Structure 1
Amino acid sequence: MQAFDMNLPGKRSFFLFALIVLLSGCAAPYPRVSPDFQKEWQHQQYTAQAYLLPSASIAFAERLNLIQQATQTIDITYFSWNGDTLGLMLLNALKEAADRGVIVRIALDDLLVFNEKWLADIDSHENIDIRLFNPFSSRKMGWMGRSIEFSINQQQLDNRLHEKYFNVDQQFLILGGRNIGDEYFGYSQTANFFDLDVLFKGPLITAFANNYQRLWESGLLTPISTLIDVESDGQFKYFKQRYQKTQEKNVAIVEDLATTLATLPVAQYTEVQVIPVFDSLNKLQDSQPYFRSRAEHIIAKELSDAQHAIISTPYIVPTDGEFVVLSQLTSNGADVRLATNSSASNDSLFVPAYYETHRETLLDMGINIVEYKDQAKNSDNFYHADTYYHNKTIVLDSEVSYIGSSNFDPRSDFINIEFGLFVYSEPFALQIQDYLFNDKDELYWRVLRNKSGQVEWHSGDEIHHQNPNYGGWHSLPDWFFRKMNAESEL
């Protein structure tokens, strides 16, 4: 379930979360949306400098670098923050910045936060404030407790904070699809995500800072100190014990990141024009697609005129049974390439069950599909393990690009709080295309029909007539998940 970008070892969590949907009586119907909804919303264009962070390890090391240089403030939002090697390393860097007097604010979604004393311990620092969005009451009963609570309070607990935001001194801003954890930067020995981040400078940061402040003052964030009890002695014993343990256990990761940080390349910025798009917190009351509608109004002309389009999303899920934007593009004669997970590479147990029924529909629409391999060997991964696709971007005619948190699916549209921005620059758009595809044919299956109309998966000389690494044993759980009719929750 994209919904929740579950952390690995998370397929256990996915199955348990199936209980949530099952117990809650499955998905709610799609809300009715006026054709003119948000049509009058006013957007603003900004100048900016954009640097596509070229690898996963550099994306993490750049965060460390910016924290080390910080002098005043650091504001952060993420959907998830793991207590693993990289998660604790980043938190330690933030603590050291706070020791220097830097004010650190962290907003996290609560879905994956249980009784993490290491996290609540850091909050006791006088210069660090950690708050949780839409918190659960259950903290010590694991996923079973969350499932029961969700089944009782689905309407209240369904909305999640899905933004990814990293602002240092109001001077540097990192946006993209990554959360914080080993698997988002190629350092998990179990499975890693292929994703991207962009470092921005310029006046656009003010718009994002204002959006963050609205969230911070909204009353929707609860101090972690009121939810998780820790014995605060000023020594941060819970955090230090866990941090030291992971550092000692993962020396190879620590050394590699130290080398990456020491040899960090100088950022090569591209001058761009950008239009930020923010969700409305009113979504929690009316479930209206603020972000999606605002975004579509902004690029309505580009969508109508596009001759070539790249749509990149981890989860391809229709809204109310229709792929509206894809249909618009193909109806206008655009050549559309869709990059997404293969059924085997998907980190959700739910989405492939539905995608298996949509793949042929997309092919019939004329969509050129490439699916990420479940064992793709991405060159910037420190460990090569199972792989998952997590990039969220759009490129239209190599001129307009999207960077942000939305997955362009029903959950992003109607339930999660999202944001992003459109980048107007041909050089930058070409950088995105290069990052996704150049010299990376071995990462993807090209999905097409043969002369007999049967679906095939191609990679070089390799051809599969059956879905690669997605065996018949998936049939029963896929049937079960489809019976749950949970597509609007995905």
Structure 2
Amino acid sequence: MIRHLIPALACIALSACTILPKVEDKPVSHAIAAPQHGTASTTSRRINRQLAKDQSAFLLLEEAKEGLDWRLALIDSATSSIDIQLYLWHQGASSSLIFFRALQAAERGVRVRILVDDFLLNSNEPALAALCREHPNFDVRIFNPGRVRNNSFGALAEWASNFRSLNRRMHNKTFTVDRSLSIVGGRNIGDHYYGMDRNYNFIDLDVLASGPVVDDISDGFDAFWNSSHTFPGTHLSSKRMDSAVQTYQTSLRTSMEEDFAEELRNYPLDRQDWSRMLGKLPAGMHFGKAEFIQDHPEVHEDNRQLVRTLEEVQARKQGEVTVVSPYLLPSDASIENIKNAEANGVDIRILTASLEANNQPLVDGHYRKIRARLVDNGAEVHEFRPDPNPQVRADADVPPVVAKRITLHAKTIVVDNRRSFIGSLNLDPRALDINTESGLLIDSKPLANELNEWLEELYSSDNSWAVSRDANGKVQWQSRDTTRTTEPPAKWSRKLMSRISGLLPIRDQL
């Protein structure tokens, strides 16, 4: 009965919806070669002259403000191309600023390509389509979009009838200019990532790269941009709109000056000269060999390359593995591997989010079921606090904004204090089995040392709860001067969502 009901409901819903057309003539485009002039490419060449064969250079971006500063610096310094690939583009202060500066770059002749997943796309689609049609240097593509637009019931019906296909999302995050400098990591575009949200801000992590690995990142962007799953922004709507570029620029400037003036107090609205900051970049970077890893955009060719590579790396581990994943739902086999590794003398430390420091409480409902097993199998488990010390809070908040709580969003793995993975991958079924992911695997002892110093502060008793068992075998949480045998405090609504989630058979979708 239900099998026949879903198509019928879909037909009713679709009758009142905007339906995306099928596009047969989507143009193919590729990264533009690094230019011979411009601040970004010149800086990159200065860095690359210091590199040994097969090496690249890296700068960790641990603070929210530096994450946004470097993105603005790259946009403003670009002379030929900007390629941005994201899972989320949330409307707000930071997104308005980045979009405005990207439009300024397009106006001066820089080709801008933005590839964003469709799952939580929130945009005025007629205006965006008109902008892409009008501006020769500005283009947007949407990954795996639902064809039903502007109708929530119709979109839900489409998801119900086409779940397997639409459930696969692009979680990759890369940001490349002039095929010279790239940012890879966990940050999307949205105020939580850049210290501008008053409810919660993220502790997150990116890495800025120069060297031959940038070519691999750029080629990876092209693979997704030209894949069969991307939809041209020009076709999101056929509605005509005159002077779309001017309308967008005026609207963005108005919102930045009137709606987001306080949040953007630390940022210039218009293009700036970043040559001083870029001039200091070569001296601040770590050198090492790196591999850019991403899953294949095409379903039939996706062999979960990122997961396979990380499994191989950890299989060769010797002494210590440090893992940070805000959403932690490893498989039964992975939990058993922890037990075997610990038996062989490998120390495994895991930092995840406590319930109040997790922006996805549904995940917590299933993490709670495995927490004790992780401890029993020998892992050193910590849960990040929503009220960290001032030093850590300063990485997440950007004054004058002070968030009510700080949540964990960084994703990284450090093996034997030498090899580091920084990227988009969480250790949960959605990341490991469903979505596409990307990241950098970096072999650099100096970078791993700096990363571990930062992680030590997150793991400290000031900023996380250490989970263990007490003398009676009961799970306990220790932090600062407190030991408790009940879970750390969280709002009742989050507790309720966690408990309900834990009762539902949805683990493989989290």
The residue number in structure 2 matching 1:71 is 79
Conserved? CA contact 1:186–1:192, under 8 Å: yes
SS of equivalent to 1:323: helix
Work out whether 1:276 is the aligned partner of 2:292. Answer: yes
The residue number in structure 2 matching 1:449 is 469
- For residue 424 of structure 2, the aligned residue among 380, 405, 408 is 405
The residue number in structure 1 matching 2:378 is 366
Deviation per residue, 1:81-115 (Å, 9 max, x gap): 11110001001111000011000111100001145
Deviation per residue, 1:226-270 (Å, 9 max, x gap): 124554322432563254224322222222134999785833111
1:260-339 counterparts in 2 under 5 A?
A: 264=277, 266-267=280-281, 268-282=284-298, 284-285=299-300, 288-301=303-316, 303=317, 305=318, 307-319=319-331, 322-323=334-335, 325-339=337-351
Deviation per residue, 1:114-159 (Å, 9 max, x gap): 45346445434220110000001233234x5543322211111011
Conserved? CA contact 1:85–1:243, under 8 Å: no
User: How far apart are 1:318 and its partner, in Å?
Assistant: 2.2
- Overall identity of the aligned pairs, in %: 29
Higher relative contact order (CA 8 A, sep 6+): 1
Conserved? CA contact 2:88–2:116, under 8 Å: yes
User: How far apart are 1:400 and its partner, in Å?
Assistant: 0.9
Distance (Å, rounded) in 2 between the aligned partners of 1:113 and 1:409: 23
Distance (Å, rounded) in 1 between the aligned partners of 2:350 and 2:336: 14
Work out whether 1:183 is the aligned partner of 2:192. Answer: yes
Work out whether 1:484 is the aligned partner of 2:493. Answer: no
Q: Please identify the structure whose Cα radius of gyration is greater.
A: 2
Deviation per residue, 1:49-101 (Å, 9 max, x gap): 00112411011011101111100011110000111100010011110000110
- For residue 112 of structure 2, the aligned residue among 104, 121, 134 is 104
CA RMSD of aligned residues (A): 2.5
Distance (Å, rounded) in 2 between the aligned partners of 1:466 and 1:229: 56
Work out whether 1:203 is the aligned partner of 2:212. Answer: yes
AA aligned to 2:360 is S
Work out whether 1:340 is the aligned partner of 2:341. Answer: no
Distance change >3 Å, CA 436–CA 258, structure 1 → 2: farther
User: How far apart are 1:483 and its partner, in Å?
Assistant: 3.6
Deviation per residue, 1:410-452 (Å, 9 max, x gap): 2112211111221111110011112223387322112222222
- For residue 160 of structure 2, the aligned residue among 151, 161, 179 is 151
User: How far apart are 1:46 and its partner, in Å?
Assistant: 3.7
1:220-231 counterparts in 2 under 5 A?
A: 220-229=229-238, 231=240
Distance (Å, rounded) in 1 between the aligned partners of 2:343 and 2:440: 26
SS of equivalent to 1:350: helix
The residue number in structure 2 matching 1:252 is 262
Conserved? CA contact 1:194–1:388, under 8 Å: yes
User: How far apart are 1:458 and its partner, in Å?
Assistant: 1.8
Conserved? CA contact 2:144–2:169, under 8 Å: yes
The residue number in structure 2 matching 1:234 is 243
Distance change >3 Å, CA 216–CA 454, structure 1 → 2: same
Conserved? CA contact 1:122–1:239, under 8 Å: no
- Structure 2 residue runs without a partner (length 5+): 1-52
Work out whether 1:162 is the aligned partner of 2:171. Answer: yes
Distance change >3 Å, CA 243–CA 446, structure 1 → 2: farther
The residue number in structure 2 matching 1:62 is 70
Distance (Å, rounded) in 2 between the aligned partners of 1:472 and 1:455: 21
User: How far apart are 1:393 and its partner, in Å?
Assistant: 0.6
SS of equivalent to 1:218: coil
Question: How does the TM-score come out when normalised to structure 1?
Answer: 0.83
- Structure 1 residue runs without a partner (length 5+): 1-44
The residue number in structure 1 matching 2:488 is 468
Structure 1 residues 269-278 or 257-266, which shifts more? 257-266
The residue number in structure 2 matching 1:414 is 433
Structure 1 residues 112-121 or 268-277, which shifts more? 112-121
1:206-221 counterparts in 2 under 5 A?
A: 206-221=215-230
Conserved? CA contact 2:62–2:204, under 8 Å: no
Deviation per residue, 1:391-419 (Å, 9 max, x gap): 11111121111011111322112211111
User: How far apart are 1:207 and its partner, in Å?
Assistant: 1.2
State the number of aligned residues. Answer: 441
Distance (Å, rounded) in 1 between the aligned partners of 2:112 and 2:406: 32
SS of equivalent to 1:438: helix
- For residue 450 of structure 2, the aligned residue among 424, 431, 435 is 431
SS of equivalent to 2:264: helix
Deviation per residue, 1:148-172 (Å, 9 max, x gap): 3222111110110010000100110
